[in-house]
Each structure stands twice: as structure tokens, then as C-alpha cells.
Structure 1
Amino acid sequence: MLTIDGSFGEGGGQILRSSLSLAMITQTPFRIENIRARRRKPGLMRQHLTAVKAAARVSNAHVEGAELGSTELVFEPGPICPGHYEFAVGTAGSTMLVLQTVLPALLLLTESGGESGGESGGEPSEVSVEGGTHNMNAPVFEFLDRAFRPQMQALGAEVSFGLEQHGFYPAGGGRVRATINRGFDPSASLELVERGRLESVEATALLAHLPAHIAEREFAALAEALDVPVDETRTVTLEESRSPGNTLIVDVASENVTEVFTGIGRKGVRAEEVGEETARAVNAYLAGGAPVGPYLADQLLLPMTITSGGVFRTSECTPHTATQLALIPRFVDVGFERIDDEHGTLIRVEK
């Protein structure tokens, strides 16, 4: 059985989630040790446990060690089954990370059937996850929908995401839904090395049970700190949220790609700081010239691995991306070429 050391690389939950995805796709059983060893609270938290249970349901897996706080886990996948699934984190833990754990396996099932051994390849799937939708250190819904989804479409998938309710820390209660009508095209490849001309920069502030001046201050700080003008601002007031919350979202649309940057409002951090930190991330992306931002890069590698590869340039090879480059070949016969230069990092996926 394949053994994964959960303390290597970024040493967090990504290693577990990617291992689950890869195990389902390749039908490879694995044992992971030292889960989240580099985090302040090692072991499985509720969000990670939900991802394990979701993967187990989707792939009819045998699992050992699936309990809160566990630092070791055995996962033996069975056939992937399309269908309608509902999962709940039970806290404000990220729904997006749970969804991204099972999404690649379900996207592998094409109209002509998948490689997983499932009996009903081609049947549409729907996955609903309850918990947090706008979290620190996790992709928000808008990133998944407006930055990640178009690249999945470029690889042949037909998938839609719906945000049914926003969920902020600490109450959670958000709900996101993914509907998969068509899986990946195994012959598709992704080429994303040029950003193309900048088309628009738009900012949205989400406010739940908070005063409107927070959005106004975030927009003002963002506009002052950005190296390019903001074309449009929009404030969305959320009455249905279970707890107060605030997220600043900046969409940077270019000719060949849209990137999404976020600042999460939190207790003790002034609105101006949220605007400024978001502006710094956008400025760094625009200055580098690469089309793929630092957070989208690691999320493209796994889909490219199970299709026909391709090449992209990213502004930064983060520890998460470097970890993916090391982890994926443990499960899949694939080659990666990484070239770092003054323009960022070029990554080629060779099948």
C-alpha cells in the first residue's frame, strides 16, 4: 500500500485532500501518516473529516482512522459512483475544499464512461456541501466559479456552481452546489502562458449584518493602493447569513483568463487594511505578467494530470504548488517540467 507522509511540503490539509482525489481517480489505496503535522492543531479537523467521508461515499471506500484529531488514515477506494450527494461540515469549515476533493473524480466520468470502473459513467452528478463559503486560507465561491470553472470547461467539462446561502465564520450555515453534466475530455489539454490584454477590474464587497461604511472604506483603500483603476464597484448586502461577515472580491478579467482575489474581513482588522492587502495581491499579479495566479496554479495540476496535460505560466510557485508537483507522481505516471525565470514559473504537464 502506498504510504504518504502528511508532514512533507506544505504539511497541511492539501496533502490529504489531493491524496483522496488521486486515490479515487487511480483506484490506489493509501495510508497517510502525520496528517497536518505542520499546523497548530495537527490531525483531522471537522472540515478534513468531512472531505474524507465525502470521498468515501463517492468511491465506496473502506476507511480506517476517520475520526476527529486522527493523524493517520487508511483509504481504500472502490468504484466511483455518480449521483446526488449532500455533505455538511457542521462548522464554518470550507465547503469549497470539501467540494474540490470529490470534484475531480466525478469529472472523470465522461459520457462514454470513466476509467474508474463505475457502472454508470455519464450520469449527471450533483454535490451539495454546507458550511463556510468565504473563509480565510481557502478559495471562496467566486474564485471557484469565475477563475477555476472556466479552466475546467477548457478541459471539456460541463460543470456549474451555485451559491445557495453564504456562510461566514463562526456560524457557517452556507451552502454551495455543484452540478456536473459532462466530465473531462481525456484528449483535452490546457495552454495558458499569455494573459492577453487587461479587460476589466471589478470589486465586490459582501456585507452580512455589518454597516455599509465598511464596504465604502474597503473600496476607497483598494482604489488608492491599486496600480490600475477599478472599473466598477458593487456592494452586496446579505440578510440571510447566520453571522456577520465581510469579503472583498476583486475580479481581474484579461483576454485569456480571469483571476479572482479576495480579502476577508475579520475582527480587529480595519476595513482599510482589507482593501490594501487585496490591492497588494492584485498588484503583484499584474506586475508579473503571468496569466495564472498563485492560488489557481496548484488547483490546475490535478485536472491537467488526468486529461492530456498542457502548459501554463504562474506568477509564483507556492509551497502548495510545489507540494502538488511532488505528490501527484506518487499516484500517476506523469512528468512535470518546471522553469523559473523573471516572468514567474512555467509548468509543463507531460502525459
Structure 2
Amino acid sequence: MFAQKPPTFLAPVHLDGTTLEGGGQLLRLALSLSSLTQQPIHVTDIRGKRPGKVSGLKASHLAAVKWLADVTAATTEGMEVRSRELVFRPSKTGEETRSNSDRNEHVARKGDEKEEVWENIFEDDRLVRRQSHITMSSPGSILLVLQAILPYLLFSNSSNMEAQKWVVPLRVTIEGGTNVSSSPSIEYVSQVLLPMLSQKLSITPITTTLHKRGWSTGRTEIGSVTFHIEPLPRAFVLSTFSLKNRGQLAKVHVSILAPEAAARISIRDKVTAQLLAYSPEIEILFPVDEKSGSEKRLYLLLVAETSNGYRLGRDWLFDEKTRGLSTEEVGAKLVSKVMKDLKHELKHGGCVDEYMQDQLVVFQALAAGKAEVDGGIDREATLHTKTARWVAEQVVGTGFDELGRCQGLEYAVGEEFWKRRGMDLGDAITAMKELST
């Protein structure tokens, strides 16, 4: 059976896509919160601050919209590439697990021939996992799709029956780009985002299987990654968290992708020398040292790990012209930029890097109490973070104070949010705004 549908009269929250940063992050977070709370959204001028033809929905945005629309039985308007306007009306927060035969009967009864979002895997009549597949025809960022759907995967409880006493693991495979310009890489997500979620927010560790790399540089290629996720149990509420007191720099994890061994060795030597000059006592680890397959594919990620278990990362997928430059000179530019960026992060003393800061906003909004994230001394929140906070405030009514602390929703996994306090969702949002102030 399906979760009870929210009232059909709920008006969509209007979001101007040119607000603050004016990029795709605004849409991704709005979709995440809409899918969980069943609050309809209407986003106009999507990615309106992106110039010319690159504004509007890209393939990676569309992949996330389509998956969330399918899994929430949402009705949509404007769901196509380059669309600058989208209406998204979810009608359920999750579907109770059925057997494959029951599911097929439901599909036949509905006359709906489309492929189901989830495939149920059974062993000895016991449901052991659910798996889903998301494809893109271009190397759009796999990790940006994950950013949009991860809150739903964790908090929707779409894999559990009410009477079920165990949590059913999820496997989500996404095809697209793993190393894409101006997007998080699979290395950054695996070494910074996911460890921080498990170690600092107590979310069950999420693991990844990299089947093939997907590149936006050199000859474009489509890759594939599977994410192994254990959703949070029904009625679970994420505890408030306080990310403070970073501690001392203890280790640096160095990941290198370059076309040939000589180039990787050169980058490795340069990074090692500069890190030891910066902090002679640190431990240097090399989790990834891999052939990239093209002279136009050079990537470096440095992850600083502190004595209190925080991770801050800076990276660069080299995207400048290399004509007239030797491999040695290109490697030197790569190392110089990433080292400079990492030092800049460490100088502020914060517990997160600028890319991690905005990705924690959705968890602050869903948690109980006032969750806080120390971004560093005399450091203003990034434009991406300000945008994310604005979206959370508009869609679900959470508020952030001048220190970046958020009065969270105390969202219970699987809850029908619009029923809260016996009122409609619009009244609930008003109440949350009053609480946050």
C-alpha cells in the first residue's frame, strides 16, 4: 500500500532560480526537501545566472528530477533538458515494500508499463536489498545527482514495511561523470563527504564501488558508480550536531590521476616536498595513484585530516590549455594551485571546507535542535551555503542565525510532514518559522 497523499490544495513554494548563487544547487536542495516533506515547489529561471545556452536544466539535473519524480509519484511540468521552469508536486514520501509479484500485479492493474524505480532482491523469501539504476547519456556529474537524492534515500524510509523489523540496504548505481570540471569528484565524495557524514553525524557508513571512471576532459567518457546505503530506521530523528574544535593537522591524503607514471611521480614528489615544508610532522598517504588514460586528464585531491577527525579537501581537475607547456610544468601548476587552496582552508581554522559547508545545510534543517558548523574564524558563509540556507527557509521554514546555527525540523524518518501538529503544511511552515526566530 502507499502512504496517504497530502492535501491537493497545497500551493507550490515559488523559488526564483536567480537568487544568490543562482545555479543548480538551489534546484537540487529544493527537490530534496520537497520529496521528503511533500511540499510542492515551483522553480523559475532555473540556473538563471548561468550565461546563455548553459542555463536551464542539464542532463544531471534532469536525471535527479526524473528519479525523485518516479519514486515520489510526483506530477511535474517542465521536465526536459534546458527547461528554465519546473513544477514538482510529490504525492508520497515512500512506498511500503511489496513482493515482486505484488508489485507486478499493481503495475498491471494501473496499466503502467514503465520500469519500476526499485528492484527487490530476495533470498529465501526474505527481502535482502533494493536496487535502482540512474543513467545519463553524457558525463554529467554522478555526484551532483547523488547530492539531490541522498537525503531522500536516507530519510524517506522507502525501503521498509511498517511491520518490518530490519532496515533493507539500498544499492543505487548511477552512470555519468566521476571526474567532471566544476563538480565534486568520486574521490572527494568518498574521502571527505561520506566519512564526515558517518563520523560526525553518526549516519551509517555509505560505501562506493567505482566500476568505471567518467570524464569531462580529454575524450568524454561515461562512467558508473554504485552507492551502498543503509537508510535510517523508521521514526529515527537525526540528533543535533556541533562541528567545532577542529584540532591539529595530522594527515594529508593525496590522490593523483595523470596519464603516465612519470607525471604521477613528479606530482607526488612536488606535493610531498611542499606538504613537509608546510608541516614537517604530518603523515602523508596516497590512497589513489592511477593512470588517467589521456594527457588532458590531470587531477589532484588533497584531504587534510585533523586530530579530531575532521576532513577538509581541495582539488582541481586541470582544465586550462596545455599548449606550449611540458608535462612537468602542467604538474607544477596543478600542485601549486591545490596546495594554495588547501593552505587557505587550513588558515581559517574551520571544521569544514567551503564545498562541505553547503552540503551540510540539508542535515542541519532535518536534525533536532540547533545544529552548528564552524566554517572558520572571520570567514563569511560561502554563496552556495547562503543559497542552501535560503532554500531551506523557503521550502520548510527552518531559520539560520548569524552564527550559522539552524533550528532544525526534528524530522522523523518516514513521517508525513504535512500532518504535523494536525495542521496543513502551510501552517506547519509558518509555525517552524516562528520557532526558529
Query: What band does the TM-score fall into relative to the shorter chain?
Result: 0.7 to 0.9
Q: Secondary structure at the match of 1:324?
A: helix
Question: Which of 255, 264, 272 in structure 1 is aligned with 2:317?
Answer: 264
After superposition, residues 105-120 of structure 1 pair within 5 angstroms as 105-109=152-156
- Residue type at the aligned position of 2:215: F
Q: Per-residue deviation at 1:225? A: 4.9
**RMSD of aligned residue pairs (Cα, Å):** 2.7
Matched, 1:128 2:173: yes
Matched, 1:336 2:400: yes
Task: Decide whether the 8 Å contact of 2:181 with 2:216 is kept in 1.
Answer: no
Task: Decide whether the 8 Å contact of 1:111 with 1:183 is kept in 2.
Answer: no
- Normalising by the residue count of structure 2, what TM-score does the alignment of the two structures yield? 0.71
Between the aligned partners of 1:242 and 1:103, the Cα distance in structure 2 is: 32
Q: Per-residue deviation at 1:182? A: 3.1
Task: Decide whether the 8 Å contact of 1:93 with 1:172 is kept in 2.
Answer: no
Question: Which of 266, 271, 287 in structure 2 is aligned with 1:222?
Answer: 271
Matched, 1:39 2:43: no
Deviates more, 1:224-233 or 1:280-289: 224-233
Q: Which has a greater percent of strand? A: 1
- Distance of aligned partners of 1:127 and 1:244 in 2 relative to their CA distance in 1, 3 Å threshold: farther
| CA deviation vs aligned residue, 1:38-70 (integer Å, no higher than 9, x gap) | 112211121221121122123221111111111
Partner in structure 2 of residue 147 of structure 1: 192
Task: Decide whether the 8 Å contact of 1:169 with 1:243 is kept in 2.
Answer: no
Structure 2 residue ranges without an equivalent (≥5): 1-11, 96-117, 119-129, 323-329, 409-437
Structure 1 residue ranges without an equivalent (≥5): 340-346
- Distance of aligned partners of 1:283 and 1:36 in 2 relative to their CA distance in 1, 3 Å threshold: same
- Distance of aligned partners of 1:243 and 1:28 in 2 relative to their CA distance in 1, 3 Å threshold: farther
After superposition, residues 87-98 of structure 1 pair within 5 angstroms as 87-98=134-145
| CA deviation vs aligned residue, 1:2-27 (integer Å, no higher than 9, x gap) | 11100111011111111111110111
- Normalising by the residue count of structure 1, what TM-score does the alignment of the two structures yield? 0.87
| CA deviation vs aligned residue, 1:52-107 (integer Å, no higher than 9, x gap) | 11221232211111111110111111323474211112111100000111110110
Q: Secondary structure at the match of 1:253?
A: strand
Partner in structure 2 of residue 179 of structure 1: 228
Partner in structure 1 of residue 132 of structure 2: 85
Question: Which of 248, 267, 275 in structure 1 is aligned with 2:335?
Answer: 275
- Distance of aligned partners of 1:188 and 1:203 in 2 relative to their CA distance in 1, 3 Å threshold: same
Task: Decide whether the 8 Å contact of 1:168 with 1:244 is kept in 2.
Answer: no
After superposition, residues 231-270 of structure 1 pair within 5 angstroms as 231-232=283-284, 234=286, 236-238=289-291, 245-256=297-308, 257-269=310-322, 270=330
Q: Per-residue deviation at 1:265? A: 2.3
Larger radius of gyration: 2
Partner in structure 2 of residue 342 of structure 1: none
Between the aligned partners of 1:70 and 1:261, the Cα distance in structure 2 is: 32
| CA deviation vs aligned residue, 1:283-320 (integer Å, no higher than 9, x gap) | 01111111111110000110121122411101341110
- Distance of aligned partners of 1:302 and 1:280 in 2 relative to their CA distance in 1, 3 Å threshold: same
User: How many residues in Structure 1 have an aligned counterpart in Structure 2?
Assistant: 338
Task: Decide whether the 8 Å contact of 2:159 with 2:168 is kept in 1.
Answer: no
Task: Decide whether the 8 Å contact of 2:75 with 2:88 is kept in 1.
Answer: yes
Q: Per-residue deviation at 1:273? A: 1.2
| CA deviation vs aligned residue, 1:221-244 (integer Å, no higher than 9, x gap) | 4345553357436462347x6996
- Residue type at the aligned position of 1:85: S
Q: Secondary structure at the match of 1:320?
A: helix
Between the aligned partners of 1:160 and 1:203, the Cα distance in structure 2 is: 19
Partner in structure 2 of residue 167 of structure 1: 214
Question: Which of 26, 44, 65 in structure 1 is aligned with 2:78?
Answer: 65
- Distance of aligned partners of 1:111 and 1:8 in 2 relative to their CA distance in 1, 3 Å threshold: closer
Between the aligned partners of 2:172 and 2:165, the Cα distance in structure 1 is: 17
Between the aligned partners of 1:58 and 1:172, the Cα distance in structure 2 is: 28
- Distance of aligned partners of 1:121 and 1:267 in 2 relative to their CA distance in 1, 3 Å threshold: farther
Between the aligned partners of 2:185 and 2:402, the Cα distance in structure 1 is: 28
- Residue type at the aligned position of 1:266: D
Identity %: 26
Q: Per-residue deviation at 1:202? A: 2.6
- Residue type at the aligned position of 1:30: I
Partner in structure 2 of residue 48 of structure 1: 61
- Distance of aligned partners of 1:243 and 1:72 in 2 relative to their CA distance in 1, 3 Å threshold: farther
- Residue type at the aligned position of 2:299: T
- Residue type at the aligned position of 2:349: G
| CA deviation vs aligned residue, 1:184-221 (integer Å, no higher than 9, x gap) | 741412211111122111312123xx122332343344
Matched, 1:192 2:205: no
